[in-house]
């Protein structure tokens, strides 16, 4: 395994790759970690790629997983789309050498399990890796129907389908990191898995999966939809609906043109949350293999992997979905009422909050904003608090809430909405397509970003999320005081900030979807 500063060639277990160096940061992009999941490997667990002997170019991103275009959620994926998408990207400081054993941070992008890629400009790892403290890896995994449509019940003697192939992609990428990251100067025993939204949902799901044991030493979950994990019967109904739209038998699915599959799955994706507010079409499932129960339930029973965890949400998560006029979250009184009615019908033994408990929990919230607050708590905050409560019994947990917003986001009434913390974690504020600083606030935003990056990197390196000198000590979450870091213009550590919503939602909502 050799690395040279001039051409940055690294020998991996599958073959040599040549990266690039800009004098501060070395990068290797589009590195293959699994075989192309095409034809007979579509809807199958990832397989090792064929070994290569010629040096492979790793200076450009590999294909992003094929995905539909949502006009109200435009994304620049940073690369063309293609099913040969099981690639990852590595960043390390230019001075890093094999044997340095630096901490590694492996990133899982968000996107409601149907969108996104590791090549999005927002996730460029130069800033996070540039100080030389950590090595950064971003991962492409299969999304939408290609990654999270469960066809395992359609397996026959002629055709096999695997469950949770998107999760299996991430496990394969983590296995690649374990086997190869030392050649890039990283420590395979010191890996932090971190992600946001659906990426954080994968993090919290893998926390509850024995298959992930030993593949990461720490975890960070930013705005995890941790309860969006369904049983096999619900997943099978979604798959049947897609097959009906395509008018094909499951046996023929590997041969359906990508564009045709995407069109049919997008229709189903759009329809599911309209018929069933609060539900997504394509999510991880309880398959009895990777996952034998709901992650929140496993965590609350003390059956999660005992790794230190940072977990938290943004104060106004649901505001993004209102701005984008998205139906992915139930953000109107009618949608929320419909969601509760359906849950009560499906799970009659589940104790839902009473009107009085809801009124008490949100008494300080303006009536017009109450639905957004409930949606934020149902979708993100309460699942994160439930996970903090349970996981703190097996490992240290650090709970946060991101409250900061720039002047422009305040004017737009978005404030600290879903995903607004991302440029602060990555240090990529003010990117060409980031308009959030147009009304000012750059100096404060840069200070917030420095504090977040410092805490995230220190956690990855030493399991303790210490901030810069002079910043408050972020203490672990314990039942006695329920410490929570509030990230705003200044960092503060508050206690029991979720007392009112905990009183309303309680801890009995383990089966809540």
CA dist list (Å): 239 to 235, 236, 504: 6, 5, 35
- Single out the residue of 398, 366, 419, 376 nearest to residue 477, CA to CA: 398
3-state SS, residue 47: coil
8/26 Cα distance (integer angstroms): 7
The Cα 493–Cα 475 span in angstroms is 8
Contacts within 8 Å (CB) and 24+ apart, 250-256: 250/151, 250/154, 250/159, 250/161, 251/154, 251/156, 251/158, 251/159, 253/42, 253/43, 253/151, 254/39, 254/40, 254/42, 254/43, 254/159, 255/39
d(CA 407, CA 324): 19
Whether 389 is catalytic? no
Q: Of 461, 468, 430, 466, nearest to 447 (Cα)?
A: 468
The answer to whether residue 418 is catalytic is yes
Query: How many Å apart are CA 75 and CA 147, to the nearest integer?
Result: 19
**Within a 10 A sphere around the Cβ of 473, how many other Cβ atoms?**
11
Catalytic-labelled residue, pool 27, 265, 317, 392: 317
Strand ranges, E, within 289-355: 309-314
Rounded CA-CA distance 137/483 in Å is 30
CA distance 89 to 108: 11
Q: SS3 for 155? A: coil
Biggest distance spanned by C-alpha atoms of the chain: 68
CA–CA distance, 476 with 501 (Å, rounded to integer):
20
Catalytic, out of 93, 117, 197, 304: 197
- Show the DSSP H helices in 79-211 as ranges: 126-130, 144-148, 165-180, 198-207
Edge-to-edge order in the sheet of strand 16-18: 9-11, 16-18, 56-57
* C-alpha atoms less than 13 angstroms from C-alpha of 457 in its C-beta half-sphere: 24
Q: Which of 109, 316, 391, 418 is catalytic?
A: 418
Other CB atoms within a 10 A radius of the CB of residue 267 amount to 15
Verify whether residue 391 is a known catalytic residue: no
Identify the CA nearest to 85 among candidates 55, 103, 64: 64
Of 28, 134, 95, nearest to 453 (Cα)?
A: 134
List alpha helices for 324-402, DSSP H: 333-346, 355-361, 367-376, 382-391
Residue positions annotated with a catalytic role: 197, 317, 418
């Amino acid at each position: 395994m050799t690395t040279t500063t001039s051409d940055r060639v690294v020998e991996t277990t599958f073959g040599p790759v040549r990266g690039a160096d800009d004098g501060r940061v070395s990068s290797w992009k589009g590195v293959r970690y699994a075989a192309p999941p095409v034809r007979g490997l579509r809807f199958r667990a990832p397989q090792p790629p064929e070994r290569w002997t010629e040096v492979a170019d790793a200076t450009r991103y590999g294909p992003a997983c094929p995905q539909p275009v949502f006009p109200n959620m435009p994304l620049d994926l940073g690369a063309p789309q293609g099913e040969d998408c099981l690639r990852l990207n590595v960043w390390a400081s230019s001075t890093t050498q094999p044997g340095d054993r630096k901490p590694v941070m492996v990133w899982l992008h968000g996107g409601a399990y149907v969108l996104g890629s590791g090549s999005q400009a927002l996730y460029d790892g130069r800033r996070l890796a540039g100080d030389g403290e950590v090595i950064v890896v971003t991962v492409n995994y299969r999304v939408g129907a290609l990654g999270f449509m469960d066809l395992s019940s359609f397996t026959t003697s002629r055709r096999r389908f695997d469950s949770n192939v998107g999760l299996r992609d991430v496990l394969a990428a983590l296995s690649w990191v374990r086997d190869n990251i030392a050649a890039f100067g990283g420590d395979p025993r010191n890996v932090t898995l971190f992600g946001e939204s659906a990426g954080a949902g994968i993090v919290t799901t893998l926390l509850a999966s024995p298959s992930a044991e030993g593949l990461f030493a720490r975890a960070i979950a930013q705005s995890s939809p941790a309860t969006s994990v369904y049983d096999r019967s619900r997943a099978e109904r979604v798959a049947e609906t897609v097959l009906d739209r395509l008018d094909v038998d499951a046996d023929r699915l590997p041969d359906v043109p990508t564009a045709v599959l995407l069109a049919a799955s997008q229709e189903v994706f759009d329809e599911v949350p309209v018929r069933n507010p609060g539900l997504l079409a394509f999510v991880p499932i309880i398959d009895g293999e990777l996952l034998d129960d709901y992650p929140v339930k496993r965590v609350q029973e003390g059956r999660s992997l005992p790794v230190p965890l940072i977990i938290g949400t943004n104060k106004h998560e649901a505001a993004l979905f209102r701005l984008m006029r998205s139906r992915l979250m139930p953000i109107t009184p009618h949608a929320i009422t419909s969601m509760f009615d359906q849950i009560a019908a499906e799970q009659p033994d589940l104790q839902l909050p009473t009107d009085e408990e809801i009124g008490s929990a949100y008494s300080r919230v303006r009536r017009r904003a109450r639905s957004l607050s409930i949606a934020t708590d149902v979708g993100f905050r309460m699942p994160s608090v439930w996970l903090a409560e349970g996981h703190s019994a097996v490992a240290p947990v650090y709970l946060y809430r991101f409250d900061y917003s720039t002047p422009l986001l305040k004017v737009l009434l978005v404030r600290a909405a879903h995903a607004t913390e991302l440029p602060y974690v990555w240090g990529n504020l003010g990117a060409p397509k980031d308009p959030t600083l147009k009304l000012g606030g750059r100096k404060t935003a840069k200070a917030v970003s420095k504090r977040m990056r410092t805490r995230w990197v220190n956690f990855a390196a030493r399991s303790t999320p210490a901030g810069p000198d002079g910043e408050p000590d972020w203490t672990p979450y314990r039942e006695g005081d329920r410490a929570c870091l509030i990230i705003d213009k200044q960092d503060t550590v508050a206690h029991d900030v979720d007392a009112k919503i905990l009183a309303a939602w309680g801890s009995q909502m383990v089966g809540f979807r």
